């Protein structure tokens, strides 16, 4: 039995297991399974890597912390500083990042001429992939975090007005905490804005609802998730 799996913490909610197992069934890929490797800390990795599995995805909170456990990184993962896909090749563990591809392909159809600057909420591995994609699209980014150079309290009317893309890269608002949203001044958002939430459960988070009320175009992370999964599958089978 070929085994692929997701490395993360408290990941019973995850999309990946159902997505890949359904894919294997639909495409008649036999003797293959996708499982969750729910681990409390990365010291458990050494045992996991000895199990001779085919490949892995990586999610919160290990996208950055897992890098020292790998043998090599591809050029994009190295530049981003975060990994969401691991390929086992000649007994070597090689880290890749497909999040940036998923984000880039899913946001491009929504971009308009005035979308030249983006607010990126959060500083984790996902936000690094988003910033990397935005950089390729020549969109300037301002990172907002609780303890960074720009905090949520710093967000003025001028900053919101000038940054017509707002991307939530935090888990705030994910089911079951559906009554939570990043603390930004939503009243400054207009119909010039594009609001993108990497969260996909619920389909319309409170962040997206708040932005939609102000006339913004909204997008959740579902398409990004599907694209990054297919890109991971290509890597494992290349």
Same domain for 32 and 141? no
Mean pLDDT of the chain: 96
**Which residues on adjacent β-strands are paired with residue 55?**
4, 87
The answer to whether 80 and 129 have CB atoms below 8 angstroms apart is: yes
In this prediction, residue 93 carries a pLDDT of 96
Contact 21, 36 (CB under 8 A): no
Q: What is the per-residue pLDDT for 23?
A: 95
Same domain, 113 and 218: yes
Identify the pLDDT of residue 235: 98
- If we measure between CA atoms, which residue out of 30, 29, 43, 33 comes closest to residue 6? 33
Residue 13: per-residue pLDDT? 79
Pair (120, 16) in one structural domain? no
**Quick one: 133 and 214 in the same domain?**
yes
pLDDT of 147:
86
Same domain for 23 and 69?
Answer: yes
| 82/20 same-domain check | yes
Q: Do the beta carbons of residue 236 and residue 87 sit within 8 Å?
A: yes
* Same-domain check for residues 60 and 123: no
Quick one: pLDDT at residue 151? 96
* Cis upstream peptide for 202 (omega within 30°): yes
Tell me what pLDDT residue 101 has.
Answer: 98
In a shared domain, residues 111 and 65:
no
Which of 45, 63, 97 is the endpoint of a domain?
97
CA distance 210 to 218: 10
- At 192, which CATH number? 3.40.50.720
Task: Give per-residue pLDDT as tens, 154-167.
Answer: 999 999 999 999 99
Do 123 and 208 have their domain in common? yes
Residue 206 has pLDDT above 90, yes or no: yes
Please check whether residue 168 is in contact with residue 207, taking contact to mean a CB–CB distance below 8 angstroms.
Answer: yes
Task: Please tell me the predicted confidence (pLDDT) of residue 212.
Answer: 98
In this structure, is residue 235 part of a structural domain? Answer: no
> For 206-209, which contacts have Cβ atoms below 8 Å and span 24 or more sequence positions?
206/173, 206/178, 206/179, 206/180, 206/181, 207/168, 207/172, 207/173, 207/181, 207/182
Mean pLDDT of 207-218: 98
Whole-angstrom Cα distance, residue 22 to residue 28? 10
Residue 65: which CATH number?
A: 3.40.50.10860
**Does 160 lie in the same domain as 205?**
yes
Q: Which domain covers residue 16, as residue numbers?
A: 2-97
User: How confident is the model over 42-70, as pLDDT tens digits?
Assistant: 999 988 998 989 999 999 899 999 999 99
Residue pLDDT, tens place only, 5-40: 999 998 887 889 999 999 999 999 999 999 999 999
Please tell me the distance from the alpha carbon of residue 238 to that of residue 230, in angstroms, as a whole number: 12
| pTM, to two decimals | 0.95
Do the domain assignments include residue 237?
no
pLDDT of amino acid 36: 96
Question: Quick check: is 229 in a domain?
Answer: no
Active site residue 63: yes
Given 97, 124, 145, the domain boundary residue is: 97
Q: Which of 63, 93, 128, 219 is catalytic?
A: 63
162 and 47 housed in the same domain: no
Number of domains forming the structure of the chain: 2
Last residue of a domain, one of 51, 78, 97: 97
- pLDDT more than 90, % of the chain: 91
């Amino acid at each position: 039995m070929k085994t692929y799996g997701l490395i993360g913490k408290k990941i019973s909610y995850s999309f990946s297991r159902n997505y890949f197992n359904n894919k294997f069934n639909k495409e008649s890929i036999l003797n293959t399974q996708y499982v969750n490797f729910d681990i409390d800390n990365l010291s458990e990795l050494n045992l996991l890597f000895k199990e001779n599995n085919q490949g892995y995805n990586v999610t919160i909170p290990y996208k950055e912390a897992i890098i020292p456990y790998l043998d090599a990184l591809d050029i994009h993962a190295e530049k981003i500083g975060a990994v969401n896909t691991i390929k086992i090749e000649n007994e070597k563990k090689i880290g890749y990042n497909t999040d940036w591809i998923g984000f880039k392909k899913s946001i491009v159809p929504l971009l308009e001429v005035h979308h030249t600057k983006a607010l990126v909420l959060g500083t984790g591995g996902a936000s690094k992939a988003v910033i990397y994609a935005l950089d390729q699209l020549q969109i300037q980014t301002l990172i907002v975090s609780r303890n960074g150079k720009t905090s949520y309290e710093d967000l003025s009317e001028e900053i919101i007005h000038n940054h017509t893309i707002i991307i939530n890269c935090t888990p705030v608002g994910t089911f079951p905490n559906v009554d939570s949203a990043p603390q930004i001044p939503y009243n400054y958002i207009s119909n010039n804005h594009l609001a993108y939430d990497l969260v996909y459960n619920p389909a319309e988070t409170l962040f997206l609802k708040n932005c939609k009320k102000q006339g913004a175009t909204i997008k959740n992370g579902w398409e990004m998730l599907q694209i990054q999964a297919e890109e991971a599958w290509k890597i494992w089978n290349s």
